Chains A and B, each alone.
Chain A
């Protein structure tokens, strides 16, 4: 134990004093804030402020659509109406898209039997928000036209088509109904995922790189004459894990101070208000420590088989796949935190460290699922320690030998 603590202390102090720690402590929260602001700004401004033309063979229809679109004050569209539009005018509008004088052209034509067709041509194919606004306005205009054609007065038609918005409410566990938290759960989920995944990945890989460096600089030769391989590995894990926890503690303290400031009061209100439960606060370090232990132990064993950092690249996928899987599951998690996929991802040891805490932010998670997930994660850490310490024991003394899979299997048998 004495050796483990000394090794952990050395690792901890060396990393804390290092430049990488100072830079990442500042840069990661800055990156999270920038991402949040950018994504919020992007969501708010998507599909607005566009300059489009409406081309139609029916002037009343084109004008009605134009009126509906401009009635949406958030859209801030500039609309040129060309109706009835000749072929030459339509060609000219298309060339204006090419020259970027127009963002797009909405073509709506009425046939003799009343059937209408609509197309929207633009340079961008992915502006769903803008298309949604136009489709909404166009359908209201067409419905209004149809009602008027059937003899309904224009005012009555407008009243019949009045837009109704849905007020999102949330049924709570205790049976009460409260206002939905808006976008804050999504922001919180992203924040939690980044807070968990970035230190786990950064420190896990950092530890792997340190092992390769120590192997190539032959420090292990000296260290193994004093301490056992498992003491070395455990000491390293504790030291580097402690650095990760320290960094998270700094972020949490900084965030708490920020939350109490007037700036946060202005920024984090309404849809952006973020709250953490005691359970989340208690379980965050548990999932961080277990997740870090799992991935770092895996990388330590694999790093011991490598000669250079380049050799480590081939194992990168093993770390990235669980993270990508977790990120890919975010939409599923938001849509239904209790879906089979959400439950499976928050229990599966490879993804639970990333998924469980963000999921808890969306909806209370049954205790049995939390307990199962922690037990499985802890068992996986134990199994990974068994596997990696065997690789580590042999690998750190193997110089100049490329570790192929059969070679690694032989090493496992040696130890």
Chain B
């Protein structure tokens, strides 16, 4: 049974159609990436999923039933812009959000302490939010989203403001939650993180789903016409007639072959010019698929 299901959901503001007949379905134990350029309709879709706005047409189901607000107690939401009370103590804030999600105050406090230790910010609990760094606030928001053990977790840019160490900590936590059977939806601009974490994706453009499904299946659908070469010596082979496009990063080259370009021939040419440490024929990256699909728009 899908945890969340959108069926032909449409939302328009005046004459602008923000979301058009969007369909998607997210299963338990799945990390789902919602991608698209700015203004594509990601936030509008998430807001409808969270009951913040209502769809003009179509249906939204949570936990196998048509949307009802009570279901939101089983959902955790982390919006793109951080929403914390600046003057409020972190511990009080976490208890407040926990109670709003149906926890008893004592239980919420206990969980807040445990989560703070897990996210390595126990010292922040007695402080006011405004006293914390952006990264720390991000982790507090992350805890507030998860405190009530939601079965569905919706996150808009969860890694924003985090340094690499903390980003790894959040990634690890998300994977653990997935292992526990939680359904996680997240929207991000970081394609590398989508590739690393997501099981399925939905790419939205102009309010419509232009690409969706299992990430591995999607990538398999693309021709393996990319080559990654690690080499030492002359880079003259990058001028080969088999290559449509090449990017050279001093000893590491990313190559796109011409249609029907011959990878074996290129390997011979490269081996004749330089010492080859790695020559790998790969499918296009998600970033390339994204750019190709949305017609060259730069950001997700």
Q: A residues engaging B (CB < 8 A)?
A: 3, 6-7, 10, 14, 18, 214, 217-228, 397, 410
8 Å CB contact of A218 from B82, B97, B99: B82
Cβ-defined contact, A218 with B81, below 8 A: yes
Give A206 to B83 CA distance when docked, in angstroms. 20
Output the least CB separation between B189 and chain A (Å).
18
Q: Is residue B207 contacting chain A, with contact meaning CB distance below 8 A?
A: no
Cβ-defined contact, B100 with A224, below 8 A: no
Cβ-defined contact, A227 with B100, below 8 A: yes
Residues of A within 8 A of B97 (CB): 222, 226
Give A227 to B96 CA distance when docked, in angstroms. 13
Cβ-defined contact, A10 with B77, below 8 A: no
Question: For residue B105, which residue of chain A has the nearest CB?
Answer: A6
Interface segment, B45-53, B240-248, B251-259?
B45-53
Residues of A within 8 A of B84 (CB): 217, 219, 222
How many chain B residues sit at the interface, stated as a range, is 20 to 34
Give A308 to B85 CA distance when docked, in angstroms. 17
Q: Is residue B29 contacting chain A, with contact meaning CB distance below 8 A?
A: no
Residues of A within 8 A of B75 (CB): 225
Cβ-defined contact, A220 with B83, below 8 A: yes
Give A222 to B84 CA distance when docked, in angstroms. 8
Cβ-defined contact, A219 with B83, below 8 A: yes
Question: For residue B78, which residue of chain A has the nearest CB?
Answer: A222
Cβ-defined contact, B83 with A218, below 8 A: yes
Cβ-defined contact, B100 with A221, below 8 A: no
Residues of A within 8 A of B143 (CB): none
Q: Is residue B111 contacting chain A, with contact meaning CB distance below 8 A?
A: no
Cβ-defined contact, A10 with B96, below 8 A: yes
Residues of B within 8 A of A218 (CB): 79, 81-83
Q: Is residue B69 contacting chain A, with contact meaning CB distance below 8 A?
A: yes
Question: For residue A18, which residue of chain B has the nearest CB?
Answer: B87
Interface contacts beyond A6-B96, A397-B47: sample of 16 additional A-B pairs, CB < 8 Å, sorted by A: A6-B99, A10-B88, A14-B88, A217-B81, A218-B79, A218-B82, A221-B81, A221-B83, A222-B144, A223-B83, A225-B52, A225-B72, A226-B72, A227-B100, A397-B52, A397-B53
Give A387 to B235 CA distance when docked, in angstroms. 70
Output the least CB separation between B142 and chain A (Å).
12
Residues of B within 8 A of A225 (CB): 50-52, 72, 75, 77, 79
Cβ-defined contact, A410 with B14, below 8 A: yes
Give A217 to B85 CA distance when docked, in angstroms. 8
8 Å CB contact of A226 from B14, B47, B101: B101
Residues of B within 8 A of A410 (CB): 14
Chain A interface mostly helix, strand, loop or mixed? helix
Cβ-defined contact, A14 with B144, below 8 A: no
Question: For residue B88, which residue of chain A has the nearest CB?
Answer: A14
Within 8 A of A (CB), among B205-254: none
Within 8 A of A (CB), among B91-111: 96-97, 99-101
Q: Is residue B134 contacting chain A, with contact meaning CB distance below 8 A?
A: no
Cβ-defined contact, B100 with A226, below 8 A: yes
Give A6 to B102 CA distance when docked, in angstroms. 11
Output the least CB separation between B28 and chain A (Å).
20
Give A14 to B141 CA distance when docked, in angstroms. 19
Output the least CB separation between B81 and chain A (Å).
4
Residues of B within 8 A of A217 (CB): 81-84, 86
A10, A217, A225 pick with most chain B CB within 10 angstroms: A225
Cβ-defined contact, A14 with B85, below 8 A: yes
Residues of B within 8 A of A226 (CB): 72, 97, 100-101
Name 29 A/B residue pairs within 8 A (Cβ), A-sorted. A6-B96, A6-B99, A10-B88, A10-B96, A18-B87, A214-B85, A217-B83, A217-B84, A218-B82, A218-B83, A219-B83, A219-B85, A221-B52, A221-B79, A221-B81, A222-B79, A222-B144, A224-B50, A224-B51, A224-B52, A225-B52, A225-B72, A225-B77, A225-B79, A226-B72, A227-B100, A228-B69, A397-B47, A410-B14
Give A10 to B69 CA distance when docked, in angstroms. 21
Residues of B within 8 A of A3 (CB): 100
Give A219 to B85 CA distance when docked, in angstroms. 7
Interchain residue pairs A-B with the least CB separation, the first 6:
A218-B81, A222-B83, A219-B83, A221-B79, A225-B77, A225-B50
Question: For residue B53, which residue of chain A has the nearest CB?
Answer: A397
Within 8 A of A (CB), among B39-87: 47, 50-53, 69, 72, 75, 77, 79, 81-87
Residues of A within 8 A of B52 (CB): 221, 224-225, 397
Residues of B within 8 A of A10 (CB): 88, 96
Cβ-defined contact, A14 with B87, below 8 A: yes
Output the least CB separation between A397 and chain B (Å).
7
Residues of B within 8 A of A14 (CB): 85, 87-88
Give A225 to B141 CA distance when docked, in angstroms. 14
Give A226 to B72 CA distance when docked, in angstroms. 6
Output the least CB separation between B76 and chain A (Å).
9
Give A218 to B144 CA distance when docked, in angstroms. 15
B51, B81, B144 pick with most chain A CB within 10 angstroms: B81
B82, B83, B96 pick with most chain A CB within 10 angstroms: B83
Residues of B within 8 A of A397 (CB): 47, 52-53
Residues of B within 8 A of A220 (CB): 83
Output the least CB separation between B46 and chain A (Å).
9
Residues of A within 8 A of B51 (CB): 224-225
Give A131 to B254 CA distance when docked, in angstroms. 98
Cβ-defined contact, B100 with A6, below 8 A: yes
Question: For residue A223, which residue of chain B has the nearest CB?
Answer: B83
Output the least CB separation between B136 and chain A (Å).
16
Residues of B within 8 A of A228 (CB): 69
B14, B79, B84, B88 pick with most chain A CB within 10 angstroms: B79
